[in-house]
Structure 1
């Protein structure tokens, strides 16, 4: 069994082969359930994970997340903001994707860290300028990858592959249908 970057390379290859043989196994649905706590505060718990048509209830309420806004943005600064969660989601997805792809290619990582920033113009959210998007205008990711046995050119190729394969990055850069209903 080969483990690189704490990734079981054989398990990764087996998973890839299983999804290649049965694409239905690659379909997953994540879920969370949230409750408003007043003001800008929300408490959310993980819900069931469905993969390949099989529902896994063991994740229900296993993890709790809280969000709020900084005081300068109408919140009480009691928790991470939704924008910071979005940046964390991208950082986490980059980490999963980079570690898996590096391991698959035999690239050993000594260390890896990210710096992310996201710009927003509140004119869109506040309705001051209806032509302004209410969402983030740009996200910048700066990667620090310590892989001393890997040439920079190979690391650049790895990062390009991470950009093309990261599910969260893809969600951010490509239109995704968000269906909202009133229960």
Structure 2
């Protein structure tokens, strides 16, 4: 049993053994660096994202009502993509660890966003809720699928970040030339 639902079970179990013996190995640091593009054009922010297998580039352009052209995904698209991919991946992993085979797994993330506060025109919350819905097609017992969902809600890093206050430390460095 090495792969279920496109999840490498042996890789997970191997890492689990490593962190059982060395809790410090469970901590990983992620760094994202990027640049705001000052020249006119569609791309407003670019970041080279480095990962275990290489590097890719994320580009952002805000919607037109936020000063961009709307020609690329905006920051919230990436935020919601992070939630969708992390939660779905955690669910698929938990299902695999429980030995559950899935036929199809899709996700929908939705939120109503109020931009009044962004423009200083009100103090209502920017978002009151984010809705995430998994659609699972499987012949496995429903109670086992629900168990995988509960595990995913408890263990998904992005879900944890959204549900629990995480200290945000902002720093500003000003340089003149």
Question: Please, which runs of 5 or more residues in structure 1 have no aligned partner?
Answer: 50-55
Aligned-partner Cα distance in 2 for 1:3–1:35: 39
| Pair 1:153 & 2:143 matched | yes
Offset at residue 83 of structure 1 (A): 0.8
TM-score (norm: length of structure 2): 0.88
Q: Deviations over 1:130-182 (max 9, x none)?
A: x3234x3211111111111x122221221111111100111011111111112
Secondary structure of the residue that 2:72 maps to in structure 1?
coil
Q: Which of residues 58, 64, 73 is equivalent to 1:65? A: 58
Aligned-partner Cα distance in 1 for 2:35–2:9: 39
Secondary structure of the residue that 2:99 maps to in structure 1?
coil
Aligned-partner Cα distance in 1 for 2:93–2:134: 16
Within 5 A, what are the aligned runs for 1:11-90?
Answer: 11-38=11-38, 41-47=44-50, 59=54, 62-90=55-83
Q: Deviations over 1:83-105 (max 9, x none)?
A: 11111000110122112111110
| Pair 1:123 & 2:116 matched | yes
Please provide the CA RMSD for this pair. Answer: 1.9
Question: Please, which runs of 5 or more residues in structure 2 have no aligned partner?
Answer: none
Aligned-partner Cα distance in 2 for 1:35–1:126: 23
Secondary structure of the residue that 1:29 maps to in structure 2?
coil
Task: Note if contact 2:105-2:137 (Cα within 8 Å) is conserved in structure 1.
Answer: yes
Aligned-partner Cα distance in 2 for 1:20–1:99: 22
Q: Deviations over 1:22-43 (max 9, x none)?
A: 1111101111111111378111
| Pair 1:91 & 2:94 matched | no
| Pair 1:133 & 2:125 matched | yes
User: Where does structure 1 differ by over 4 angstroms across 4 or more consecutive aligned residues?
Assistant: none
Aligned-partner Cα distance in 2 for 1:71–1:123: 15
Secondary structure of the residue that 1:140 maps to in structure 2?
strand
